Chain A
Amino acid sequence: MGTNSQQGAEVDVRTADAMNQIYARPWTGTAIIVIGLIALALGIAICVNYGYQDIKLITVWEAIFRFDPDSGEHQIIRALRLPRVLGGAIIGAGLSVAGAIMQGMTRNPLADSSLLGLTAGAGFALALVFAFFQGVSFNVLLLIAFLGAGVGAVLVFGLSSMARGGMTPVRLVLAGAAVTALLTAISEGIALYYRIGKDLSFWYAGAIAGIRMSQLEIMFPWVAVALLGAIALSRSITLLSLGEDVARGLGLRSGRVKLAGLAIVLILAGAAVAVAGAIGFVGLLIPHVTRKLVGVDYRWIIPCSAVLGALLVIIADLAARMINPGSEVPVAALIAIIGVPFFLYLARKEERSL
């Protein structure tokens, strides 16, 4: 017993040492969180304010805190504008954190829920629901989306870990592309057969315009718990990002951490697909940008990614509404305009390091 606790203490000291050596910029991180949250609040206010019908900011305030069901303006804010912007923020935070966790745990710079088959898995599950069990409650839909994301993830991670030489980033991306092609093909087949293609295309579109408050109420607790879980797990993820062997040597139970991380990723990615469809590249972009800003410690990367991801999606949505008022560009398309070149750049770097 005595030696055990001594060893334990020694490992703790070594872990603390390792954590201290990890490059981080706490001040930048704090600044990002504080300024980011202020910007987020401002952004949400602007987004709620901006629209076809001019509504004064004070009315927005009243609609939130002194809701009057008889006022038309209050109804617009409560039913349409608020769910959209809040939903966008939640999804952005969720997708970024999911991306950060995957990048950290698999040490793969190219990880993103849409690249690694999670989005296609959730979409596939939704196609099945639309075809065979129409009219299920949103609660059930959400659970099925989690399951679908899980199927995609297990296929991609399982198959690439079976390969000789293990899960290299390139292999993961290729497996993701093939699994996505497979699941999308089956979904398309189902969609054609049951004539639900157009319904499904709205899901794939990655638009946050249609989010309802009732959906948010169901989704929010899941995402909130998952985000808190991610922050609780962030120290272990930092250790994992140093490499499996190092993490094990420092006494980390890597199996458990990976399982918990995977569960969090599935909830975040599944929830995002269930309310907004396929929004790619947020989970790729944001963690990389954050890492450049705050260093490689996931205790800072995860909360900062959440804030920046939420900002990215609501700003992109605002831009999408401003570019072409009346007929809107889906937010996913706008993010892809930044995301694709960034992916090309990362791929170039990754290939050089091979």
Chain B
Amino acid sequence: MIQDTYVLSDSQKRERRRITIMFTILSVLIVAVFLVSMNTGSIRLTPIEVLRTLFGEGTSDQDLILFTFRLPRIVLSVLVGAGLGVAGCVLQAITRNALAEPGIIGINAGAGLFVLAFTAFYASPAASPVYLLPLLAWAGAGLSAVIVFGLSYRKHRGFSSTRLLLNGIAITAGISSMTIVITQRIDAEQYQFYARWISGTFSGQDWKFVMAVLPFLAVLIPYVMYKSRTINVLNLGQTMAVGLGARVTREQVGLLAAAIGLAGACVSVSGSIGFVGLIGPHLARRLVGTKHQVLVPASALVGGLLVIGADTISRMWLQDTPTGVIVAIIGAPYFLYLMIRSKM
């Protein structure tokens, strides 16, 4: 493949043009959905009014609606989608398994457990310190991911992908039963708070959450991009990667940590949203091919589009049904479709 592209510069050019077109289409779509989303809500604003307000010429009411209520939520949905998309892309490349996804390997469950423990500890979650919740969720996500990966590592053979998935399912099952113990001890209001979190929603999120997740994305996505050539090599498999001189284990661990950090940061502000890390990279691969220099940013865009789209649909037609529910309704069938086609 690599050699082909060097020889056939025509096809290389065509490929480049195709990729550019795909990126343009994805970006335009995100902007379009963004504008639609800004218009969606109980108070209707025309697209012109939205644009005027965005450029600082709106009334104070319009400012309040857009900048305080709608914008943070919409920005957050794009960021979370992008982060989960990149995390899924890295996980799929390193485990060389099409079904690897942050949710299925236990990240969401771990975050959920910590959020629940926190809910149970603070009688009223709303009155707690702002950054404590995302931080705890992130720690929970990291902890369960480390356990799952630790159990799936084999000396000299790297991470076994089948075992990774099975271990993820086992740990998720174990965590859900711990979750159940705690849900027995909280009251209905606390449960409602937790239930909203666990089903993944952006309603009521403000700029503080954007600021909580942004640093992770700003550091980790560029890191992954910087390592994209290494990911290409790792994706060839353990033996091949060693042969090509990659320090496999060290690179794997670094990239996995980045993926876990990204996914954990995302679910810590959005609640449990699954399957974005699965669909994002898959669609992206169909659009731009398998080179991670372009696949990583494309996964981010597709993931972002998916989540902002789901969130907009939920606000337009589904009375604010949690975004995670909508994403799961799209994502689980897609997972099953991939499962049917995969060799295992």
Tally of contact residues, A, Cβ under 8 A: 54
By the criterion CB–CB under 8 Å, are A197 and B191 in contact?
yes
> Is A343 a contact of B170 with CB atoms below 8 Å?
yes
Are B332 and A182 touching (Cβ within 8 A)?
yes
Q: Does A354 contact B (CB under 8 A)?
A: yes
Q: Does B340 lie within 8 Å of A163, measured CB to CB?
A: yes
**B319 adjacent to chain A (CB < 8 Å):** yes
- Interchain CB contact under 8 A, A201 and B191: yes
A329, B336: Cα distance in complex, Å: 35
| Stretch in A76-84, A167-175, A221-229 with 4+ CB within 8 Å of B | A167-175
Q: B174, A171: Cβ atoms under 8 Å? A: no
State which of A30-38, A142-150, A232-240, A332-340 sits at the interface with chain B. Answer: A332-340
Q: Which of B173, B195, B335 contacts A192 (CB 8 A)?
A: B195
Q: Which residue of A has the minimal Cβ distance to B190?
A: A198
A185 vs B333: C-alpha distance when bound (angstroms): 13
Contact A348 B339 (CB under 8 A): no
Q: When chains A and B are docked, how far (Å) is the Cα of A178 from the Cα of B171?
A: 15
- B169 on the A face (CB < 8 A): yes
A350 contacts the other chain (CB 8 A): yes
Q: Interface extent on B, as a size class?
A: 35 or more
Q: Are A191 and B169 in contact (CB under 8 A)?
A: no
B196 touches A280 (CB 8 A): no
- Contact mask for chain B residues 186-212; partner A; CB cutoff 8 A; 1 contact, 0 none: 001001100110110000000000000
Given contacts A195-B192, A197-B195, contact A179 B180 (CB under 8 A): no
Using Cβ atoms and an 8 Å threshold, which residues of chain A touch B199? 185, 188-189, 192
Pick from B171, B174, B192, B333: contact of A182, CB under 8 Å:
B333
Q: Which residues of B contact A (CB under 8 A)?
A: 99, 103-104, 151, 160, 162-163, 165-167, 169-174, 177-178, 180-181, 183-185, 188, 191-192, 195-196, 198-199, 274-275, 319, 321-322, 324-325, 328-329, 332-333, 335-336, 339-344
Q: Can you list 29 contacts pairing A with B, beta carbon distance less than 8 Å?
A: A115-B169, A159-B340, A163-B342, A164-B343, A168-B344, A170-B166, A174-B104, A177-B104, A178-B335, A181-B103, A181-B275, A185-B325, A185-B332, A188-B198, A188-B322, A188-B325, A192-B199, A192-B322, A193-B319, A197-B195, A201-B180, A207-B184, A330-B180, A330-B184, A333-B177, A339-B173, A340-B173, A344-B166, A348-B163
Contact A170 B162 (CB under 8 A): yes
Contact A159 B178 (CB under 8 A): no
Which has the most chain A C-beta neighbours within 10 Å: B151, B170, B177?
A: B177
Q: Which residue of A lies closest to B194 (CB)?
A: A197
A163-B342, A281-B173 given; name 18 further pairs at CB < 8 Å. Answer: A174-B104, A177-B104, A178-B335, A185-B328, A188-B198, A189-B199, A192-B196, A192-B199, A197-B191, A206-B177, A329-B181, A330-B177, A332-B177, A336-B178, A340-B173, A344-B151, A351-B163, A351-B166
